[in-house]
Chain A
Amino acid sequence: MSDKPKASTETLTPAETSAPHRQPSGKELDWERNILQPTLAKSPERTHHFTTTSGHPTRRLYTQADLPNWDPDRDLGMPGVPPYTRGIHPTMYRTRLWTMRQFAGFGTAEDTNARFRYLLSQGQTGLSTAFDLPTLMGYDSDHPLSEGEVGKCGVAISSLADMEVLFDKIPLASVTTSMTINSPAAVIWAMYLAVAEKQGADWRKISGTLQNDILKEYIAQKEYIYPPEPSMRLVIDTFEFGVKNTPKFNTISISGYHIREAGSTAIQELAFTLRDGLEYVEWGMRRGLEVDQFVPQLSFFFNAHNDFFEEIAKYRAARRIWHKAMVERFQSSNPRSWGLRFHTQTAGCSLTAQQPYNNVVRTAIQALAAVMGGTQSLHTNSLDEAWALPTEFAATIALRTQQIIAHETGVTNTVDPLGGSYFVETLTNEVERGAWDHIERIDAMGGMVAAIERGYPQREIAEASYRYQMAVEKKEKIIVGVNDFISEEKPLEILQIDETVARRQAERLRKLRAERSQAEVERRLGALRNAAKGNENLMPFIFDAVKAYATLGEICDAMRDVFGTYEEVAIT
């Protein structure tokens, strides 16, 4: 008779039984037989299927048997050196905490400038700008399609004049700023650089981050203007311009955040984001840029969802994949290209409209995962964001959450506090393997642009998002306050943006167009249009147009004339 426990297929989860290479120690087998089985016979577990938020199976117990070929020197290593599993800096938060960078923007440039200054006065260490939908789509505030949307989801920026107000009395020489802008990223960046120049800040010293990640727009966020080819050209133009003029500026933030918000799993988020990253590197090299010249200016941006360990594993796996790809695919020889630096935002899609104060707790746990995973900067969502942009009250609690993690919990005292945990190391391996599978599938399709054109990542995300919704509806996943533990409560006080913002913006644009030199604007827009037809780097032309106070809409239209616009085939 076999001495394996008889009841094993009844009581073990699929994850357990589907680990054929597992060779448990005698001690573990003894424990299973003598302790575990009698326990399970008396009190069965709550379910047979324990899974992460993403549906990844989770075993009851992880032991050495889960890491048969794991070599701590090779797979874990030391912090600050390859493969960077433990973090990209030798001392991590012992030397410098992450940047507390709260995403903010609403109404007019004046409104947002006041919020920026408030957040800095409360101990925030960097800025992050949310633009409204017309700005994200390259329309001026007075465009017919902007009706009803001005200043609602972010700040309305239509020209350099608005940008000057946005950063009034904020020293760009010392404050780093992140800007969540993609299709019109080159234009908004030119406006930012023009403000920095006016302030007398040295371009070679200023730092900040331009999101500029068009691939994830086609995949998930959907704020695209032009077709992929010219859009990628604009991205590589900013890389090239950045290498020459702003060596400390992150010219892109390759973003998984929105992919996850659209409903992907953690593994899909990781895989699609890193494959996007590889795509940008390939296009940069095709332009003739030296890999180790521009890659150090690429940064990443991930989501922090509810499943604590899955998220931590994702960040650790991300660093390992990036290092491997840099060295093996691109023969990078500069360690500055190897270390994956990333920003994290807690998961907006995990916030509930019901019992919104519970969101403070969710956000705190998500933020803790980001910190345990070694993030370089962090945004924590506010409790009211399932309803609206945050009030100052809610935004302050969100910032305080980070300060509590940084100064009260002790998790910052040691590097990679979970390193060596059987569970975390196994999950890191599994997430990494799952991500490589997707990456290789996309390679086989001919790269990310080709995969997007086929709808591959879009379809994968739509499937995962539907699966998750059904799991919630069947109560396989419990969301406190939504499908269980329901209670009535009073509506929250929320921030309302009224239509006076649109009127103020329209008035400002009317004045701007009356006061600037129209001939000069036309001349510079013409030059941009001509350059767009050829192969030149467009950044200098965009910068010239911005400085003559051509509006965002006019500049984007000049390129629309040449590049056309993109329509997706919707996948449902």
Chain B
Amino acid sequence: MPEKKIRVLIAKPGLDGHDRGAKVIARALRDAGMEVIYTGLRQTPEMIASAALQEDVDVIGLSILSGAHNTICPQLMNLLREKGMSDVTVLVGGIIPEADISGLKKSGIAEIFLPGTSTQEIVDFIHKRVPQG
């Protein structure tokens, strides 16, 4: 039996169009053997939660550079809880001030990756966190 691939939804919430980071991560995770779905731009928390449910993903990666993280992340985490998807690992990558990190983690975000993180660190984190097979 082939090993079940880890399924990841890369999402770009909010109005921002800077998708360089989201695209690089999507490709790097794919190169690392994961199944990656990229939502495209301007996804609301509702759209992201439904896509995650529909695609039955293990991981959601949010790319946020616009400063809207404190609004978007708690909304998404609430929706995931309502849909019974609390076991999905939610990661955030982007520009997040140090002062906001503990609040986001308290809301249920598993990890926050700041500028300068290598794609390998993210791959390793997911492998450690999500059991395969």
Kindly list chain A residues whose C-beta atoms are within 8 Å of the C-beta of B119: 469, 473
Binds B, one of A4-12, A37-45, A129-137, A296-304: A129-137
From B17, B39, B40, give the contact of A221 (CB < 8 A). B17
* B41/A570 in contact, CB under 8 A: yes
Against A, the Cβ 8 Å flags (1 = close, 0 = not) of B63-94 are: 00011101110000000000000000000000
Interface residues on B, range: 35 or more
Shortest A163–chain B CB gap in Å is 20
Chain A residue at minimum C-beta to C-beta distance from B14: A149
Kindly list chain B residues whose C-beta atoms are within 8 Å of the C-beta of A465: 20, 23-24
Asked if A18 is at the interface (CB within 8 A of a chain B CB), the reply is no
* B97/A462 in contact, CB under 8 A: no
Asked if A152 is at the interface (CB within 8 A of a chain B CB), the reply is yes
Q: For the complex, what is the distance from the CA of A417 to the CA of B83, rounded to whole Å?
A: 64
Q: For the complex, what is the distance from the CA of A531 to the CA of B37, rounded to whole Å?
A: 41
Against B, the Cβ 8 Å flags (1 = close, 0 = not) of A249-270 are: 0000000000001110000000
Against B, the Cβ 8 Å flags (1 = close, 0 = not) of A472-486 are: 110000010111000
Asked if A506 is at the interface (CB within 8 A of a chain B CB), the reply is no
- Residue with the greatest number of chain A CB neighbours at <10 A, chosen from B18, B27, B71: B18
Kindly list chain B residues whose C-beta atoms are within 8 Å of the C-beta of A153: 16, 66-67
Kindly list chain B residues whose C-beta atoms are within 8 Å of the C-beta of A170: none
* B66/A388 in contact, CB under 8 A: no
Shortest B112–chain A CB gap in Å is 12
Given A148-B72, A352-B116: A136 in contact with B40 (beta carbons within 8 A): no
Our count of residue pairs bridging A and B at CB distance below 8 angstroms stands at 110
From A139, A152, A262, A568, give the contact of B66 (CB < 8 A). A152
Q: For the complex, what is the distance from the CA of A462 to the CA of B27, rounded to whole Å?
A: 10
Q: For the complex, what is the distance from the CA of A217 to the CA of B41, rounded to whole Å?
A: 13
* B97/A222 in contact, CB under 8 A: no
Q: For the complex, what is the distance from the CA of A128 to the CA of B22, rounded to whole Å?
A: 29
Kindly list chain B residues whose C-beta atoms are within 8 Å of the C-beta of A352: 115-116
Q: For the complex, what is the distance from the CA of A541 to the CA of B78, rounded to whole Å?
A: 44
* B68/A152 in contact, CB under 8 A: yes
Against A, the Cβ 8 Å flags (1 = close, 0 = not) of B6-35 are: 000010001111111011101110100000
Chain B residue at minimum C-beta to C-beta distance from A152: B67
Shortest B55–chain A CB gap in Å is 15
Shortest A544–chain B CB gap in Å is 28
From B18, B23, B44, B118, give the contact of A572 (CB < 8 A). B23
Asked if B98 is at the interface (CB within 8 A of a chain A CB), the reply is yes
Q: For the complex, what is the distance from the CA of A222 to the CA of B22, rounded to whole Å?
A: 13
Given A261-B20, A572-B38: A136 in contact with B15 (beta carbons within 8 A): yes
Interface residues of A (CB under 8 A from B): 133-134, 136-137, 139, 145-149, 152-153, 217, 221-223, 261-263, 349, 352-354, 386-388, 462, 465-466, 469, 472-473, 479, 481-483, 491, 494, 496-497, 567-568, 570-572
